[in-house]
Structure formats: structure tokens, C-alpha cells
Amino acid sequence: MHPREGWSEDRPRLEITRRGFLGTGLAAGGLGALLAACGTSTTTGGTGPTSHGIPLPRPDQPVTWPVFPGNKAIKSGLPPERNATLQLYNWTAYINAAVVKSFEKKYHCKVQITTFNTMSEAMSKLRSGQVNFDVFMGVTVDNMGTLVEGKLIQPLNHSYLPNIANAWPDFTNPFYDRAWRYTVPYTIYTTGMAWRKDKVPENPYRMASAWAMPWQAKYKGKVAILDDYREGISLGLLKNGQYNLNTTDPGQITKSQQALQDLSRLVNVHIDNNDYSNVPSGQIWIHHAWSGDIAGALAYLPKGVSPKVLGYWFPPDGRGPVGNDTLTVLRGAKNPVLAHLFLNYLLDVGNALTNISWNGYMQPLTAVTPQRLVKEQILTPNLMSTAVLPSYFRRGVMELQLPAAANTLWQQAWLTASKGI
């Protein structure tokens, strides 16, 4: 689940046809074979949910991933590899080229970026063993178990990563990777409501439930929801007052499906991931949206239209969908020291601000506040709500990997609902 899924190089910077895939997209047979080759793990994480024997991390069921005998962290004090080309594997258009160039200059190396458009594509290529990347970027939380238990990523040597001190304290012991053994944070984002203030008089901050904002017949033809089965069914759940966005309850999933079908009949709703362009253009007035998309939506405003017409709502108490992705070093990295230094480089506040100014998606560093983003002219004051606060991450609800059977229910519900949309 990721905001960059489906990008292609020939699209504008913020054009997204997002994800459609979760980590559970692995075929059961393929995953079973992978785990059979892994041997016994010493994963600790209580008695939480599992999928094919792999723990599914939850905030109330955190997981400490094992360090395997044949997959140890690199030694401390090693010099950076010389005359090296650092190989990055990343989502399309998910890092500012200026940051990459400055890293090359600082460490006297070259950086080559290979991109992917879906996490299923990336995972398949990594499992094939026929790639030689150093850094795997934008890793979604729902794939942690497969990557660790499959020994596809290596444990991190924290001595090379002092800039973790710049990150929110949450990320030195995240529930999905206790003690940050394998990951450092990259970006973080929320899912909320974008609207054209000049077209829609309602203020979602004053509504009893802004999750119901799309369900208004008077905006027929001007409402859109995200084209993503997890986000879509989650919206139906939230509209129904359900905040467990990883529910396995068939009844709740069905009621969400029915709410989306009602929405279709009421407003002839659009399904697309063009929130970043269709709201500023005025084609859509209310759009279920991702924060990073709307942060970058100013670039798509027609000439002469004030930025003040754009609004983004996320519940001020933080009780809404929040997600983040991570940076990892691959087990087969030929340049593991440079790989660690690159992760550390992206945790530098100045580098992060340069990166955010280009891709729109915030990085969870303590010094990167909404006020700082406005001061740096990365955000306009009316879009400060697109910034993610630590309290959102702590109180928010994450769409995490589901057990296989429940994941099928979600997909079927979305397929049924979207047929009528």
C-alpha cells in the first residue's frame, strides 16, 4: 500500500495511479516455499495475527524481527566503498535528483536508480535473486515479514546512522520493527478529504463526521474517491463509525461495501487517483485524498486561481488513516557502507526539506514542522493540514497487512462496490 504505486516516468511529477496491491499479493505457494527455505525464526511479537506463519505487526502486538546467523549487520568503522556506484531501487519519481547529486558529490561516488511501479513488481524481482541493488527505498510496513524472514534485507549497523536522532522518537522503536533493526523511516502521510472551498460551502472541520462529506446528493458528478481497495473500504468503514481499518469482520466489510454503493447511487462518484490535479482544476469539488498529493496540488492550479481555494481535512485528533514507508539495505548489497551513509543522508533535515519540496511527501523529522514547511515556502498556510504530526502517527489508524482470508473479503467487497461506481 503506497502513494507511488503505478507511477510512470512520462507522467507529471505528481500524477499517481496508485497501489491496488498489498503485501498479501504474494501467491500462497510462492510464499510458503520462501518460508520453508528460511528455517526457524526467533521472531518475538506475542500472540498477534499471522499470515502464512509470519507475524503481522500491530501497534498493540509489536514485533521484534530476528537476526539470522547468516545475515548479520556489517562491522563498525568501515570506510565507504571507493569508485563505487550505489544502486538504489525505488518507486518512480520518489526522490529529488538534487539530493542524489549532492550525495554523489559528498561521497565521491555515482548513484544509479532503478525504479518500480508496484510493490508486487519490486518484491518479485527481489525474490528472484537476479538483482544487485544496495538500497531498497519506500518499503511498506506490510512487507516487513517477507523481507526479514526471507533474508532479503540485512540488519542495520546503527553506528553509521547518527541522523536517526533527527527522527521522531517513535521510529527508534516502531511497532513493525522494534529497535529499528532493519529500517529507518522515509515518508509519512495521511488520508483525508480535499475540497474546493470556492465550490463547497461546508467546512469539514465543523461537520459532525467529515468522513461522510462525499455523501451529499447536491454534489453529484463532482465527488471522487481513491482508486484503492484498502482506502475505499476503509472510507466506508469510517463513514459507518468503524475505526478498525484491519477488520476481519465480514459484517463490517459488507456494510462498508453497501455504503460505497449508496455513494455511487447518490452522487455518481468518480474513482481515480487524480486528487492532485482534479481538485485544483475544479473538475472535482470533493475528493478522498492523500496528504502528499494535495501538498503538491498547487502546481496544477489554473493561472489566476488563488491557492486559498484548496483545502485538506484530516481529523485534528489524529484518528484517521496514517501510513509511512521505510528505507532498507538489501542483504546482497555490494556497497553496504555507502548504503548506510545514504540512509543517514536522507535523515538530515536540510536534505529532507529539499526532498519534500519536490515529491510533496513529508519525512518524520522533529525539525520538519508545518510551520517550517511554510517558512521554507514548501507549503502555503492553507495547506498546513497536509503535514503529519507525531500525534497523528500515535493516534492514527494504519492499513496493515491482513490475514489472507480477510484480504480476499476486502478485495471482493471493493470489486462489488466499484462495479456500481
Each residue of 60-86: pLDDT tens digit? Answer: 999 999 999 999 999 999 999 999 999
Its domain, for residue 125, covers 33-40+53-188+324-365
One domain, residues 265 and 413: yes
State the average pLDDT over residues 115-141: 90
Q: What is the pTM of this model?
A: 0.86
Is position 9 within any domain?
A: no
State the average pLDDT over residues 242-246: 97
State the average pLDDT over residues 128-135: 90
Predicted pLDDT of residue 242: 97
One domain, residues 124 and 105: yes
Predicted pLDDT of residue 32: 34
State the average pLDDT over residues 266-292: 96
Angle at 101 between CA 367 and CA 119, to 5 degrees: 75
Reply yes or no on whether the pLDDT at 205 is more than 90.
yes
- pLDDT one-digit tens code per residue, 23-67: 333 223 333 333 333 333 445 655 678 877 889 999 999 999 999
State the average pLDDT over residues 298-307: 93
One domain, residues 166 and 285: no
Is position 8 within any domain?
A: no
Reply yes or no on whether the pLDDT at 388 is more than 60.
yes
Is position 252 within any domain?
A: yes
Torsion sign across C-alpha atoms 270, 272, 276, 278: negative
Is position 15 within any domain?
A: no
Distance of CA 245 to the CA centre of its chain: 15
One domain, residues 232 and 144: no
Is position 315 within any domain?
A: yes
One domain, residues 152 and 118: yes
One domain, residues 76 and 182: yes
Report the chain's C-alpha Rg in angstroms: 21
Tell me how many domains the chain contains. 2
Is position 7 within any domain?
A: no
Predicted pLDDT of residue 157: 98
One domain, residues 199 and 315: yes
One domain, residues 59 and 172: yes
One domain, residues 183 and 194: no
Residue percentage of the chain with pLDDT more than 90: 81
Calpha distance 360→341 (Å, rounded): 23
One domain, residues 161 and 275: no
Residue 238 belongs to a domain with what CATH number? 3.40.190.10
Return mean pLDDT, the chain.
Answer: 89
- pLDDT one-digit tens code per residue, 345-384: 999 999 999 999 998 999 999 999 999 999 999 999 999 9
Reply yes or no on whether the pLDDT at 315 is more than 60.
yes
State the average pLDDT over residues 165-178: 96
State the average pLDDT over residues 208-237: 96
Is position 223 within any domain?
A: yes
One domain, residues 261 and 157: no
One domain, residues 293 and 180: no
Is position 4 within any domain?
A: no
- pLDDT one-digit tens code per residue, 332-345: 999 999 999 999 99
State the average pLDDT over residues 305-334: 96
